[in-house]
Structure 1
Amino acid sequence: MSILLIGSLDAEEYAEWRQHILAHLPAGEELVLAGEPHDPAAVEVALVANPPHGTLARYPRLGFVQSLWAGVDRMLSDPELPRKLPIARLVDPALTQAMMECALAGVLFLHRQLPAYARQQAGAEWRQLSQPLASQRRVGVLGLGELGSAAARGLSTVGFKVSGWSRSSREVAGVSCLSGAEGFDRLVSEAEILVNLLPLTPQTANVLDAKLFARLPRGAGVVNLARGGHLVEEDLLAALESGQVSHAVLDVFRQEPLPASHAFWQHPRITVLPHVAAYSEPSTASRIALENVARFRSGQPLTALVDPGRGY
């Protein structure tokens, strides 16, 4: 039987993933690529990276899907996706570390007022701004999954007063953990810098909107490292214009690549990153993915299974 590699990948990316998957492929397994001739009826396992909608439904004997990405929202939005198919997310310590680093970089960028100094430099203005310590700054992290918890812990280690919110109760060392509607409101109302690492679900879509921005302390900073679908772009622009939000660091967008004509590119209070906060490293992700495939083959419990009802 075959393992299928399929996704929104170009030829170079397919070649890189193929190289690393073959290095960890268990004996007796055959790897086939979506763009090459293969028998769909022989495919039992799919390793996927945002496969185009409708493609997984073409494999009648498909029994397990292992994502090579941490996020699975695009795949779950496929109307033809077999609903009882077990799907696992990728949980890779290398990806988690990368996301923690980017969250820390974004928060420190705002905390140390580097956007303001960049604007001063453009005007040859030498002016020292008042600078609180990290221990005097409140940071809120929305989402306490693998990535959010790691980011919250990292920020706490630096000394920030960190609060984290999740749908259900969590415990994260050094972090004030909140849940439920009341906890959400409290976190947002106190966050001088807000980091979004929520999964994208129907319940969290458009969460970064005018209502949320209005509840932030005036002049708060925003860091969105999760999904472009969390952000109502027009509401952010209005909040920046009014000064309610001082600066936004954005790594994800509704349309990627971000069109050259988009207002975000030239906005003086927005920092655009080209979706680089954390991405799957084939050398480590391939090994972790195939370890889960081995569990599937042997009937052992799978790791990081997706709950379709929750959307992650």
Structure 2
Amino acid sequence: MSIAIISDRNPDAWIKTLNEHQKKIEVEVYPDISNKNEVEYALVWNHPQGVFKEFPNIKVIASMGAGVDHIMQDPELPENVKVIRIVDEQLAKDMAEFVLALVLNKLRNLSLHHHLEQQQEWKPKTYQRIDEVKIGIMGIGELGSTVSKKLTENGFSVSGWANSKKDLENIKIYAGQEELDPFLAESDILICLLPLTPDTENILNKDLFKKLPENAFLINVARGNHLVENDLIEMIDSGHLSGAALDVFRKEPLPEKHPFWKHPKIQVTPHIASVTKPSSVVSQILENYERMKNKEELQKVVDKEKGY
């Protein structure tokens, strides 16, 4: 029995870490799998669609990162297979620090002044203070909860929006479609941390943006498919939105001629908000592997109906 790595990433760090922690497990990398009939556990990221048909005895598919949309979107995902997500405290901390940096960058106009610096232009611009803005977070899961805590610790007024009611200290939670509009109305900075599902795809669109306050700012650190790109550009150019900071995109790397690159009010980063380190999550990967072998209940199993 082996663990099969199926990924568009360089697998060397994963192989090294898995072997250091459990030398008895054979780790193989697709497509160089010696016996596909023996593979019951796969570790994946952006796998080729339909590839799991090649493994007739596969039981568990574990994501290499926090997201599982790349797995759930496979139309040929076997029905009887368990999908496992990663929950990593360090990953959540990294995300929280990145979002805080983006928010402070927005308030103090650092990107704008950097742009002016390149043009050798001295144009001081009025900045905002922490107590002058309200932040709304769409998606209050593991990442969203940690981000909201980091922001409130730094003095920000934060509200959240989720499918169902949650109880978080110092954060007002709006729940369901019926409470989306009032949530948006008080979000000067909107942060998307939603899981990508059929219900949330394209949710960041013109209709939603119109419900935000004038000069609202968007931060998307979730998935590129949440955003209708042309709607964002239109709403920024019309003056309704003040700008956006985007870390995720429909196509990655972002194409060379994409309009986001040169838009003066859109900040682009290359999907680096939080990156999984194999050493940080290997224990939960191997824990579920052992549970599978011993026919025990698995941890962090994805609800296939919800998609997360």
Offset at residue 86 of structure 1 (A): 0.6
Instruction: Tell me if 1:216 matches 2:207.
Output: no
Aligned to 1:292: 288
Count how many residue pairs are aligned between Structure 1 and Structure 2.
307
Instruction: Tell me if 1:129 matches 2:126.
Output: yes
**CA distance in 1 between partners of 2:295 and 2:304 (Å):** 21
**CA distance in 2 between partners of 1:250 and 1:131 (Å):** 20
Offset at residue 123 of structure 1 (A): 5.7
Aligned to 1:34: 30
**CA distance in 2 between partners of 1:77 and 1:37 (Å):** 24
**Which of the numbers 150, 156, 166 marks the counterpart of 1:160?**
156
Aligned to 1:4: 4
Counterpart of 1:286 in structure 2: which amino acid? V
Aligned to 2:19: 22
**CA distance in 2 between partners of 1:306 and 1:87 (Å):** 6
Provide structure 1 residue ranges, at least 5 long, that are not aligned to the other structure. Answer: none
**CA distance in 2 between partners of 1:120 and 1:3 (Å):** 51
SS, match of residue 304 in structure 1: coil
Provide structure 2 residue ranges, at least 5 long, that are not aligned to the other structure. Answer: none
Offset at residue 182 of structure 1 (A): 2.7
**CA distance in 2 between partners of 1:115 and 1:301 (Å):** 48
**CA distance in 2 between partners of 1:93 and 1:130 (Å):** 33
User: Any residues of structure 2 matched to 1:45-124 within 5 Å, and which?
Assistant: 45-121=41-117, 122=119, 124=121
Counterpart of 1:195 in structure 2: which amino acid? I
Offset at residue 228 of structure 1 (A): 0.5
Considering only aligned residues, what root-mean-square deviation do their CA atoms show, in Å? 1.5
Offset at residue 82 of structure 1 (A): 0.2
Offset at residue 102 of structure 1 (A): 1.2
Counterpart of 2:4 in structure 1: which amino acid? L
TM-score, scaled to structure 1: 0.94
Q: Which has the higher contact order (CA 8 A, sep 6+)?
A: 1
Instruction: Tell me if 1:196 matches 2:158.
Output: no
Aligned to 1:240: 236
User: Any residues of structure 2 matched to 1:170-185 within 5 Å, and which?
Assistant: 170-185=166-181
Q: Is the 1:92–1:288 contact (alpha carbons within 8 Å) kept by the matching residues of 2?
A: no
Q: Is the 2:206–2:232 contact (alpha carbons within 8 Å) kept by the matching residues of 1?
A: yes
Identify the range of structure 1 (52-61 vs 200-209) with the bigger mean alpha-carbon deviation: 52-61
1:130–1:55 distance in 2 versus 1, CA, 3 Å: closer
Following TM superposition, the consecutive aligned residue runs of length 4 or more in structure 1 with deviations greater than 4 angstroms are: none
SS, match of residue 265 in structure 1: coil
Instruction: Tell me if 1:150 matches 2:134.
Output: no
